[in-house]
Structure 1
Amino acid sequence: MVMATKHSLQLLAMLIFLISLLALTKPTMADDDIPEDFSSSYFPDDFIFGTATSAYQIEGEATTKGRGPSVWDTFSKETPERILDGSNGDVAVDFYNRFKEDIANVKNMGFKGFRMSISWSRVIPSGRRREGVNKEGIEFYNNVINEIISNGLEPFVTIFHWDTPQALEDKYGGFLSRDIVYDYYEYANLLFEEFGDRVKYWMTFNEPWSLSGFSYDYGVFAPGRCSSWVNRQCRAGNSATEPYIVAHHLLLSHAAVVQLYREKFKPIHGGQIGITLFTFWYEPLSNEPADVEAAKTALDFMFGLWMDPMTYGTYPRTVRDLVGDRLPKFTDEESKLLRGSYDFLGLQYYTSYYAKPNATVDPNHIRYKTDNHITETPYDYDGNLIGPQVRDFEL
């Protein structure tokens, strides 16, 4: 990965990913059951191993070829001290000019899938389709998708990977405004029209939690908004309300685009559409009922915040009870649109924590991170890590 914020995991890596239909094809194994020669041969024939990328992290040519700036361009250039090495995506790994070589390398490694995202501001510089489409951007992605397929790989396309067009951020605050739902809908419609004949797996969003949380509560991802007491580098924001507003608009955007695809494009192209979520796993620190409930609540705030609306049409009860009036509400029609709004689910998992109740939340300093009223720790009561540590990182 070329860029990383000081508080983030290295998110661009060669990943193994599974596109599933929420059904296990084989029983899971306990650690003791895993054979020494464990390999891809133990997976079903239709299990797809692949690589994952995102546009701003790899493409380069960020200021040329008709592309408009995204919030990450602004964030990395105006506040370079908030990037681990002070870099930006102007060049990255130059995928824009080297994609044939890179895709060939993926093929030669034996992978069968290539997950990528499309830069909204590369195909629509202003973010609004009615204001013009960048034909050079469309041509680039056509060439990339064709190259992926010609190498025997399956393209998995993420419509949005956190790179909101800066023009929309300036115009109405990006995902803080409900106006984003229509502009995102029109953007997705363009992608389906241009690439839907070849792309059979679409993801509306990558890790919406990361956008709502890291960008609007912690303030460490673009556009870097949060309450000033959370992070002094934040120039504006409200960690108590904005994460939920953004989450709400992400979910409404997701539901609208899934409906669009299913009604207009799926009957023609026969593809599938879903979303890629991200979660930690939480174990209770002890068998005490309060710790067990704390682990469930932690999952509700990180995973259920997204899955419950897409499954049941409403936020988890724990989230509703603890957040109260700060949590936006869905109309009956919106709830109906959200229920069942995925053909498959992508899930990215990085680490686990123990959870216990936190009874010391400061009522004068409210934020998304502490709304769950839990304390998370990687250590048990004896000081042992929850599992083997792969590398040091801080979130």
Structure 2
Amino acid sequence: MGFVSILLFALGCVHCSITCCSSAEVNKHFFPPGFKIGVANAAPQIEGAWNEDGKGETIWDRYAISQPDTIYDHSSPQVASDSYHKWREDLEMVKEMGVDHYRLSIAWARIYPDGYKTDKPNERGVAYYKNLLRSLRALNIEPMVTLYHWDLPQKLQDDFGGWLSPKIVDIFADYARTCFELFGDEVKWWTTINEPKQICELGYGSGVFPPAINLPGVGNYQCAKNVLLAHAKAYHIYDKEFRQKNQGKVSIVIDTIWFEPNTTKPVDIEASERALQFSFGLYGNPVFNGDWPAVVKARVAQRSKQAGLKKSRLPTLSPEEIALINGTHDFLCINHYASHMVSALSDEPPFTDTSFDADIGVNDSIPSEWPKGGEAWFAVWPPGMRKLLVWLKNTYNNPEIVITENGFSDNAGTLEDDHRINYYRDYVSNCLDAIYIDNVNLTGYTAWSILDDWEWRVGYHSLIGMYKVDFNDPNRARTPRKSAGYFTQVAKNRCLVDPKDCVH
């Protein structure tokens, strides 16, 4: 799950009132024919075995182990959920839930320990993923594989600055080609990079995530350009070299929270749209429409000029780069968890403030009556899911959409997690409303997470699994929560209510 900056947002259905897209009751439709239901997690959050079988050090390994005070509970991903050793047990859990697909990530540093392509990938790392992927196929579960879920090999950061350097583009492309070669027969759904906004803004802008580079309003935009070019090169490699044989699909995963305009005033609606174009559109627009969003280019250029800079802090995309990036998607992937309210600021932030938030220039808040999850930003408002899907449909020309993450975190970890059941029911209900009422081309839903994991800077304080993991137990025992039973019935019945009450 992505850690979301408080002042980042998304908006949709901009001319509606706050209640326009809410459902009076749970949607009773069966899921459409062919609709895919799955569960997910990622290598750095569940695998552990951080230095076993030839795996190299990642930026998260270095950060958590060397600076334990930066992690809420002083934990690290050294063991996490120990899925590297317990993957067979975890796949049995996935099978028992009756889902169609399992989203996972490949740890770059298990394939190439230093990140660089060598003559031969790490055999033990390759064997681990081959066994995992082939076992999923044998269970009739479709793997959805992410190539990069934040775990940059540390040496790439040490040698040239990681995602700040154009060098990363071809190095990532080499790694992607290797994965397509090694695992292409088992994988039909590929996603290149997970949540680039978090990689770039938190890692190279505000610096609150590793590699903890504090270059606000500069590093984040340079990172964004390199991430998009790396994704695009990987996409074209698959398209030209592997698609005909493997018949798979490739995209990038972009995350956003939903920010509802605080009022129906034009200034609040405009502020919301502007913020959306910064947070989602910064990555989505080059891929789906070509080039940076116009409002992003204009605002960063203006604020750069007012600050006395000779050129915009936002790097230019050349015509060749625009052409390379534009259209590099076979479907749209969205990670979504929470909603906020957003309004216009009364005054423009100081031009000397070069932060991403100042460039957006909006105010956000969370209504006190909205339920909260396990972190401060996690505010639950299910209509936000439907509004987001409608906005994506309208903004990106009605693409096929797959929800690649959605789920609820808490700090208690109780087995009787009715609050999580209610979350899934209400968010999926809004997905069905988007399909059947708004004609959104939504073809898949992926719940995060199948089991508790290591949640980045909050460690084991935020619990989000349908299976509880006992992190005090060396064996990392798994126990199903009530939500696991609920989601299993949803997956098997293909409906949110009793099947006898469902309609086609």
How does the TM-score come out when normalised to structure 1? 0.85
Distance 1:85 1:131, change over 3 A: farther
- 1:62-99 deviations in Å (ceiling 9; x for gaps): 11100010100011111111112111111111111110
Secondary structure of the equivalent of 2:338? strand
Q: Does structure 2 conserve the Cα–Cα contact (< 8 Å) formed by 1:282 and 1:296?
A: no
1:355 aligned to 2:370? Answer: no
Aligned to 1:317: 294
Distance 1:48 1:102 in 2: 20
Aligned to 2:262: 285
Distance 1:8 1:334 in 2: 28
Secondary structure of the equivalent of 1:183? helix
Distance 1:167 1:133 in 2: 16
- 1:174-220 deviations in Å (ceiling 9; x for gaps): 00000000100000000000000110000011111111122223322
1:1-395 to structure 2, matched below 5 A, reads 30-32=22-24, 34-35=26-27, 38=28, 42-130=30-118, 132-226=120-214, 238-324=215-301, 325-358=312-345, 359-379=347-367, 385=369, 388-395=370-377
Over the aligned positions, Cα root-mean-square deviation in angstroms equals 2.0
2:313 counterpart letter in structure 1: R
Q: Does structure 2 conserve the Cα–Cα contact (< 8 Å) formed by 1:8 and 1:394?
A: no
2:35 counterpart letter in structure 1: F
Q: Does structure 2 conserve the Cα–Cα contact (< 8 Å) formed by 1:52 and 1:116?
A: yes
How many residues align? The count is: 353
Q: What is the CA-CA distance between 1:30 and the residue it aligns to?
A: 4.7
Distance 1:58 1:266, change over 3 A: same
Secondary structure of the equivalent of 1:57? helix
Secondary structure of the equivalent of 1:225? coil
Q: Does structure 2 conserve the Cα–Cα contact (< 8 Å) formed by 1:217 and 1:369?
A: no
Distance 1:362 1:52 in 2: 41
Query: Which region of structure 1 is more displaced relative to structure 2, 181-190 or 352-361?
Result: 352-361
- Give the gaps of 5 or more residues in structure 2: 7-19, 302-311, 378-504
1:295 counterpart letter in structure 2: S
Secondary structure of the equivalent of 2:205? helix
Q: Does structure 1 conserve the Cα–Cα contact (< 8 Å) formed by 2:217 and 2:356?
A: yes
Distance 1:168 1:333 in 2: 26
- 1:154-191 deviations in Å (ceiling 9; x for gaps): 10000000111101000000000000001000000000
Q: What is the CA-CA distance between 1:131 and the residue it aligns to?
A: 6.2
Distance 1:297 1:392, change over 3 A: same
- Structure having greater relative contact order (Cα 8 Å, sep ≥ 6): 2
2:375 counterpart letter in structure 1: F
Q: Does structure 2 conserve the Cα–Cα contact (< 8 Å) formed by 1:161 and 1:206?
A: yes
1:363 counterpart letter in structure 2: F
Aligned to 1:23: none
Q: Does structure 2 conserve the Cα–Cα contact (< 8 Å) formed by 1:126 and 1:132?
A: no
Aligned to 1:12: none
Distance 1:159 1:391 in 2: 28
Identity %: 34
Q: Does structure 1 conserve the Cα–Cα contact (< 8 Å) formed by 2:112 and 2:118?
A: no
Secondary structure of the equivalent of 2:242? helix
Q: Does structure 2 conserve the Cα–Cα contact (< 8 Å) formed by 1:353 and 1:376?
A: yes
1:53 counterpart letter in structure 2: N
- 1:246-305 deviations in Å (ceiling 9; x for gaps): 111000001111111011100111000011110112222212211110010010011110
- 1:97-119 deviations in Å (ceiling 9; x for gaps): 11011001111022221100000
Secondary structure of the equivalent of 2:260? strand
Q: Does structure 1 conserve the Cα–Cα contact (< 8 Å) formed by 2:106 and 2:146?
A: yes
Distance 2:261 2:45 in 1: 36
- Give the gaps of 5 or more residues in structure 1: 10-27, 227-237
- 1:102-147 deviations in Å (ceiling 9; x for gaps): 0011110222211000000110011111365211111110001011
Q: What is the CA-CA distance between 1:34 and the residue it aligns to?
A: 2.8
How does the TM-score come out when normalised to structure 2? 0.67
Distance 1:363 1:132 in 2: 50
Q: What is the CA-CA distance between 1:364 and the residue it aligns to?
A: 2.4
Q: Does structure 2 conserve the Cα–Cα contact (< 8 Å) formed by 1:175 and 1:246?
A: yes
Distance 1:155 1:136 in 2: 20
